[in-house]
């Protein structure tokens, strides 16, 4: 018969010290998070129920900002752009990243050079790469006029960032240029953890490259794939830098996303309360995405 | 090998972190804003009052001149006051100031990019009334009446204008001579030059808002003053005429028609990718015929005109036969106020006074750098011979003319002003009609008029 005995005092002290150590390590980050995330976050929720203009006293107006939001065509258009942006980044860079990583995983010589090459755009400051691309796509001094000088007037009448019909796609293309190389590196790291014997067995069974990818590679890296998909959704709703630097949401709102509408409301139109409401909506979208991910993992036991 | 941390280790870690944070804090304290600190040096003592001032300059030469001749000179003349100037980016200074002042922080001397922005601070109690200082330093006697009046909020002076100019028509005399054009003064002449320039592959009128959306209000200020006229604008600014009146709708329709013809910025899509730099470069290179913009570019226009090329300017042409040609929209680009949270208001006022007390100091800066001066009562003979003839011509012409107009960022209230340059994009793309644009303008203005947020415009003489 076994008996349960209380741990001796020395062990309890040791365990308590371990917990204290852990708390001491986590405390600086916790304090920073409370100060720069939780505090301002709660303030934003409060201000979203007010008519605060950023300077004057804030008066409580309950849900008026939210009611106004959903009647605001600029907000609705920006939300649509965020959804299109999300779809684009879930499909194009993810596909390019997977393909690039899979092809790289199958070569031995020069792999490092390609990894570095693909990763370089990611380490370039956004403002630098955006400025370079703005020059490249400039209708007066960019690739269009350069081709024209060579007798190829293919892009003569194309203004990538000035034409409202194509500007959002142009900005997404530029952002993707920086982003997809990062995905290649992450997917490649995940692929390198796959047991080689799985591929050997598949080859012995006569599996094609495509079937290897579909039946071995993709299922094996599913947690990485799902995590990057989750982050892509969240980042797609938070996108700001490229849009702001390249077009500031123009022409006439054709590249506006929620964050640029929020920025304009807060800092140009003196509608800080309204901007806070947009911020709360953005936070809710991100929280919903994370909750959905956690639900799939924990409740439905999805292996992601 | 892993091992548990002993109390000693934790103390060492904690001590190290504390020491590191002190080092970081010490490094950071020399310039907490991350911007260029331009204080005159010397350690602060208990008797010396520091006055902080955030500024921005279009050129390094302007910054250097201001530092030496205003900040250092002021500090050298004082025993108990020291101005510490922090230089920020020109495009973001207004926004930085707004955020800081709203949070009850910011510099002692508060910058605003015009009376309209300064009015927002005043209405919300973020800046103090300056009437006592105005009396002490006789600012009413020194400043031009219109500039003093527009700086008052509810009958009290809340800001001091320290930089003013106008909007004019820049052109390249060589290009005009080459094509046989005459500088336009009427709508017919203006349209004739535009049509000819377009047919020859030039951009007739420079325009664009890439990089700085508010550039649109520069162009709209020109169009409204030249096509509607100061009298109708004054009526609108005082609520006697609505902004959706036919005269405004016609003016916006007119400029929209020019955009559709490719006269304004080249084409509607080019408008959104053209920058101010592109337009001056085009003007110098003979690819842009005319450019209507502000006289703040006097200090930088020469950088585009190299190899003996020269720019020149002319007053805005009339864009409506009922409006006299040659209107000068008055624009105050920089105002200074005193932060309500300042503990050194007296010293801050002393520095503001130093900037405008001696007109020769301002005119010296105008001569050396072309920087727009404060709107001071200055005799035409007071301009030094070193002032560029083109610059002196403007500042001698303004006091003599009766055809003075209104720049939007000086006389239009802040939210209405933002509406002007953000919503006009939709007119350009055809997403909004000129009539709807003007209706929205009226709605925004009416709300601010009711709040008492409209700067007081001078009465036009023409």
Residue B452 in contact with residue B414, Cβ under 8 Å? no
Q: Number of folded domains in chain A?
A: 1
At residue B244, the 3 state secondary structure works out as: coil
Cα–Cα distances (Å) from B106 to A192, B99, B109, in that order, read: 53, 8, 8
Confidence of residue B103 (pLDDT cuts 50, 70, 90): confident
Q: How far apart are CA B164 and CA B399, in angstroms?
A: 13
Q: Would the CA dihedral through B60, B64, B67, B70 be positive or negative?
A: negative
Greatest mean pLDDT among A135-139, B152-156, B249-253 lies in B249-253
Quick one: pLDDT at residue B95?
A: 87
Q: Any chain A CB within 8 A of the CB of B98?
A: yes
Cα–Cα distances (Å) from B453 to B120, B123, B231, B245, in that order, read: 7, 8, 21, 21
Cα A19-A22-A23 angle, rounded to 5 deg: 90
Quick one: pLDDT at residue B148?
A: 95
Residue A54 lies in a domain: no
Q: Any chain B CB within 8 A of the CB of A86?
A: no
Quick one: pLDDT at residue A297?
A: 83
Cα–Cα distances (Å) from A301 to A221, A286, A298, in that order, read: 17, 21, 5
Confidence of residue A54 (pLDDT cuts 50, 70, 90): confident
pLDDT at position B18 over 60 = no
Residue A1 vs residue A275, higher pLDDT: A275
- Partner-chain contact B99 A267, CB within 8 Å: yes
* B167-330+407-451 and B36-165+331-400 share a CATH fold: yes
Residue A10 lies in a domain: no
Topology of domain B167-330+407-451 in CATH is D-Maltodextrin-Binding Protein; domain 2 (3.40.190)
Quick one: pLDDT at residue B462?
A: 65
Residue A28 lies in a domain: no
CB pairs below 8 Å between A and B: how many? 79
Instruction: Give how far B385 is from chain A: nearest CA, Å.
Output: 40
Q: Any chain A CB within 8 A of the CB of B281?
A: no
pLDDT at position B39 over 70 = no
Q: How far apart are CA B219 and CA B167, in angstroms?
A: 9
Name the nearest CA neighbour of A240 among A73, A90, A127: A127
Residue B269 vs residue A56, higher pLDDT: B269
Q: Which residue in the block uniquely carries the two structure tokens 């403002």?
A: A127
Q: Would the CA dihedral through B406, B410, B416, B420 be positive or negative?
A: positive
For domain B36-165+331-400, the CATH class is alpha beta
Q: Which residue in the block uniquely carries the two structure tokens 């808002």?
A: B209
At residue B154, the 3 state secondary structure works out as: coil
What the block records as the tokens of B335 is 């105002």
Contacts of A157 (CB under 8 A, 6+ apart): none
Q: How far apart are CA A280 and CA B330, in angstroms?
A: 42
Q: Which residue in the block uniquely carries the two structure tokens 């020399």?
A: B30
Task: Give the rounded distance of the alpha carbon of B166 from its chain centre.
Answer: 10
Confidence of residue B2 (pLDDT cuts 50, 70, 90): very low
Give the residue-averaged pLDDT of B69-75. Answer: 96
Quick one: pLDDT at residue A4?
A: 54
Neighbouring CB atoms inside 10 A of B350's CB total 22
- Residue A251, preceding peptide bond in cis (omega within 30° of 0): yes
Quick one: pLDDT at residue B212?
A: 87
Q: What is the pLDDT of residues A129-182, one digit of tens each?
A: 999 999 999 998 899 999 999 999 999 889 999 999 999 999 999 999 999 999
Q: Rounded mean pLDDT of chain A?
A: 92
Instruction: Give how far A161 is from chain B: nearest CA, Å.
Output: 7
What strands, in cross-sheet order, belong to the sheet with B312-314? B203-206, B288-294, B167-171, B312-314
Name the nearest CA neighbour of B194 among B284, B250, B257, B280: B257
Give the residue-averaged pLDDT of B14-25. Answer: 42
Helix axes A222-238, A167-191, angle to 10 degrees: 150
Task: Spell out which residues of chain B touch residue A276, defining contact as CB-CB under 8 Å.
Answer: none
Q: Which residue in the block uniquely carries the two structure tokens 């096509």?
A: B227
Neighbouring CB atoms inside 10 A of B83's CB total 26
pLDDT at position B54 over 80 = yes
Residue A26 lies in a domain: no
Q: How far apart are CA A68 and CA B290, in angstroms?
A: 42
- Partner-chain contact A139 B426, CB within 8 Å: no
What the block records as the tokens of A199 is 């591929």
Give the residue-averaged pLDDT of B211-222. Answer: 93
What are the boundaries of each domain within chain B? 36-165+331-400, 167-330+407-451
What part of B 402-441 touches A (C-beta under 8 Å)?
A: 414-415, 418, 422, 425-426, 428-429, 431
Confidence of residue B56 (pLDDT cuts 50, 70, 90): very high
Q: Rounded mean pLDDT of chain B?
A: 89
Give the residue-averaged pLDDT of B189-196. Answer: 98
Confidence of residue B46 (pLDDT cuts 50, 70, 90): low
Quick one: pLDDT at residue A240?
A: 97
Task: Provide the residue range defining the domain that includes A260.
Answer: 73-299
Q: Which residue in the block uniquely carries the two structure tokens 């002490």?
A: B136
- Partner-chain contact B10 A254, CB within 8 Å: no
Judging by beta carbons within 10 Å of its beta carbon (0-12, 13-18, 19+), is residue B73 exposed, middle or buried?
Answer: middle
pLDDT at position B33 over 80 = no
Least CB–CB distance from A54: residue in B102, B123, B213: B102
Residue A256 lies in a domain: yes
Confidence of residue B211 (pLDDT cuts 50, 70, 90): confident
- Burial per residue of A230-264, b for 16 or more beta-carbon CB atoms within 10 angstroms, e otherwise: bebbbbbbbbeebbbbbbbbbbbbbbbbbbbbbbb
Q: Give the phi and the psi of residue A237 in degrees, each rounded to 5.
A: -85, -20
Give the residue-averaged pLDDT of A20-46. Answer: 93
pLDDT at position B27 over 90 = no
- Partner-chain contact A247 B272, CB within 8 Å: yes
Task: Write the CATH number for A101.
Answer: 1.10.3720.10
């Amino acid at each position: 018969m076994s008996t349960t005995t209380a741990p001796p005092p020395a062990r309890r002290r040791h365990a308590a010290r371990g917990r204290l150590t852990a708390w001491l390590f986590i405390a600086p980050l916790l304090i920073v998070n409370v100060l720069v995330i939780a505090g301002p976050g709660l303030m934003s929720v409060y201000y979203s129920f007010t008519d605060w203009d950023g300077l004057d006293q804030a008066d409580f107006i309950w849900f008026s900002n939210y009611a106004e939001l959903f009647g605001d065509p600029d907000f609705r258009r920006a939300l649509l752009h965020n959804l299109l942006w999300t779809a684009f980044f879930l499909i194009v860079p993810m596909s390019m990243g997977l393909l690039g990583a899979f092809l790289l995983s199958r070569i031995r010589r020069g792999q490092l050079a390609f990894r570095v090459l693909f990763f370089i755009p990611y380490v370039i400051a956004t403002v630098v790469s955006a400025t370079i691309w703005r020059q490249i796509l400039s209708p007066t001094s960019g690739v269009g006029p350069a081709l024209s000088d060579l007798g190829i007037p293919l892009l003569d009448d194309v203004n990538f960032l000035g034409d409202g019909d194509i500007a959002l796609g142009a900005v997404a293309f530029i952002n993707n240029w920086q982003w997809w190389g990062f995905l290649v590196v992450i997917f490649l790291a995940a692929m390198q953890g796959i047991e080689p014997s799985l591929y050997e067995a598949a080859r012995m069974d006569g599996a094609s490259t495509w079937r290897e990818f579909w039946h071995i590679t993709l299922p094996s890296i599913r947690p990485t794939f799902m995590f990057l998909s989750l982050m892509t959704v969240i980042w797609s709703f938070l996108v700001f830098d490229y849009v702001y630097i390249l077009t500031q949401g123009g022409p006439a709102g054709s590249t506006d996303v929620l964050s640029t509408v929020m920025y304009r409301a807060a800092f140009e139109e003196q509608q800080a309360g309204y901007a806070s409401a947009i911020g709360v909506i953005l936070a809710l979208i991100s929280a919903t995405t994370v909750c959905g991910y956690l639900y799939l993992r924990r409740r439905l036991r999805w292996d992601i | 090998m892993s091992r548990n941390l002993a109390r000693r280790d934790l103390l060492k870690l904690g001590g190290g972190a504390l020491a590191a944070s002190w080092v970081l804090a010490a490094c950071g304290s020399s310039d907490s804003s991350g911007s260029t600190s331009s204080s005159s040096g010397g350690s602060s003592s208990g008797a010396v009052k520091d006055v902080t001032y955030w500024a921005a300059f279009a050129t390094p030469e302007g910054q250097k001149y201001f530092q030496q001749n205003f900040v250092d000179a002021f500090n050298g003349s004082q025993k108990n006051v020291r101005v510490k100037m922090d230089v920020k980016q020109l495009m973001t200074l207004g926004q930085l100031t707004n955020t800081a002042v709203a949070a009850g922080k910011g510099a002692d001397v508060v910058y605003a990019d015009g009376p309209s922005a300064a009015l927002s601070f005043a209405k919300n109690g973020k800046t103090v009334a300056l009437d006592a200082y105005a009396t002490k330093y006789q600012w009413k006697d020194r400043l031009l009446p219109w500039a003093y009046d527009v700086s008052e909020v509810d009958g009290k002076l809340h800001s001091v204008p320290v930089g003013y100019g106008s909007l004019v028509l820049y052109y390249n005399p060589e290009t005009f001579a080459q094509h046989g054009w005459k500088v336009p003064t009427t709508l017919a002449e203006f349209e004739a030059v535009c049509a000819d320039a377009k047919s020859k592959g030039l951009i007739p009128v420079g325009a664009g808002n890439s990089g700085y959306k508010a550039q649109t209000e520069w162009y709209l200020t020109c169009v409204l003053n030249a096509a509607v006229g100061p009298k109708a604008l004054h009526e609108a600014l005082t609520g006697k005429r609505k902004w959706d009146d036919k005269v405004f709708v016609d003016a916006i329709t007119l400029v929209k028609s020019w955009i559709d013809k490719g006269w304004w910025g080249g084409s509607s899509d080019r408008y959104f990718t053209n920058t101010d730099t592109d337009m001056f470069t085009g003007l110098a290179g003979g690819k842009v015929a005319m450019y209507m913009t502000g006289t703040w570019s006097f200090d930088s226009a020469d950088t585009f005109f190299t190899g003996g090329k020269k720019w020149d300017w002319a007053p805005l042409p009339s864009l409506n036969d009922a409006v006299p040609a040659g209107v000068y929209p008055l624009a105050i680009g920089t105002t200074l106020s005193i932060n309500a949270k300042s503990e050194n208001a007296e010293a801050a006022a002393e520095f503001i006074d130093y900037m405008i007390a001696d007109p020769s100091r301002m005119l010296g800066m105008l001569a050396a750098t072309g920087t727009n001066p404060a709107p001071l009562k200055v005799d035409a003979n007071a301009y030094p011979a070193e002032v560029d003839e083109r610059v002196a011509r403007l500042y001698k012409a303004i006091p003599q003319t009766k055809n003075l107009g209104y720049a939007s960022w000086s006389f239009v209230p802040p939210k209405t002003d933002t509406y002007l340059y953000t919503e006009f994009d939709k007119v350009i793309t055809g997403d909004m009609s000129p009539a709807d644009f003007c209706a929205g303008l009226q709605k925004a203005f009416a709300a601010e008029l009711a709040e008492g947020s409209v700067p007081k415009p001078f009465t036009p003489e023409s």
